[in-house]
Amino acid sequence: MSGRDGRFAPSPSGPLHLGNLRTALLAWLFARKAEARFLLRVEDLDPGRSRREHEERQLHDLAAIGLDWDGPVERQSERRDRHREALAQLEAEGRVYPCWCTRAEIREAASAAHGPLPEGAYPGTCRRLTAAQRAEREASGRPPALRLDAGAERIAFEDRLHGQVEAVVDDLVLWRNDGTPAYNLAVVVDDGDQGIGEVVRGDDLLDTTPRQLLLQRLLGLPHPSYAHVPLVLGPDGRRLAKRHGAVTLADLQEQRGWEPADARAWIARSLGLARDDEPAEALTPALLEARFSVRGLPREPTVFSG
């Protein structure tokens, strides 16, 4: 185990696209360059969207571009008891309260709120309910979500690509009203239990990191370091997705004749790790690892025209 052990943790709700594969390769490079473990965890918390066939395809595609990993693949759905333990720990410390707010009510309350919380953050509506108001909501029969009383704490951390980041943490959901653990609780517990020392992921998750740092502290878990890497965008400037055409390995092979090595080569060139005139087959993961440097990584998104 190393202080730089890393992971990739996809949700099995569909096939991986080039942007996902790029992030996975980066997470692999960070870990392997540090001579650390690289783990895979399937974040299958959502039973309505998670499919085993998607998981199998994702693992196949990761291996196809040359990535290897250490140990067995973990699944969040098999760790529900551990997530409940963490929730119970926070409940015992008086940091959890039920929330019956709908999304529309949250939007309305957040737009009317004043104070240090960022736009769109939950302003603590249900935390301030009177006993009578809470009894009324309980009588409605609608199951509540469970939220963390975050105390509007300001959390700062140093990201390896973005530098100093600081934000006020709102009362995030810990347990959803469908009976499943929320992402932020599960990911913190799982990273801690797996000994993850460095989290490398897309910079669309940068804003949620202060929430996870607060949870780590409250649960007595170690703080990993973080590197939030630029995303791949479609030609319309939005995050790469199926709507942008051939973006998965299967589609790229069918529509463009790309082999997995061609996809890996495109990723390598987008990261400044390869020249356009280098043959795809020569750009092996081992060669990319030898060339890899955090300082040389681009800080801006890459556009892919599918």
Binding residue ranges for Zn(2+): 99, 101, 122, 126
Q: Are 49 and 22 in contact (CB under 8 A)?
A: no
Q: Are 219 and 176 in contact (CB under 8 A)?
A: no
HSE-CB for 277 with a 13 A CA cutoff: 0
Binding residue ranges for L-glutamate: 7-11, 43, 183, 201
Q: Are 72 and 26 in contact (CB under 8 A)?
A: no
> What is the C-alpha separation between 38 and 297, in angstroms, rounded?
20
CA distances from 15 to 24, 51, 67, 157 (A): 13, 10, 16, 32
Binding residue ranges: 7-11, 43, 99, 101, 122, 126, 183, 201, 242
Sign of CA dihedral 174, 175, 177, 183: positive
> What is the C-alpha separation between 36 and 126, in angstroms, rounded?
44
The residue whose two tokens read 């998670």 is 50
Number of neighbours of residue 91 by Cβ within 10 angstroms: 14
Binding residue ranges for ATP: 242
Would you state the structure tokens that stand for residue 91, as one six-digit string?
């409940």
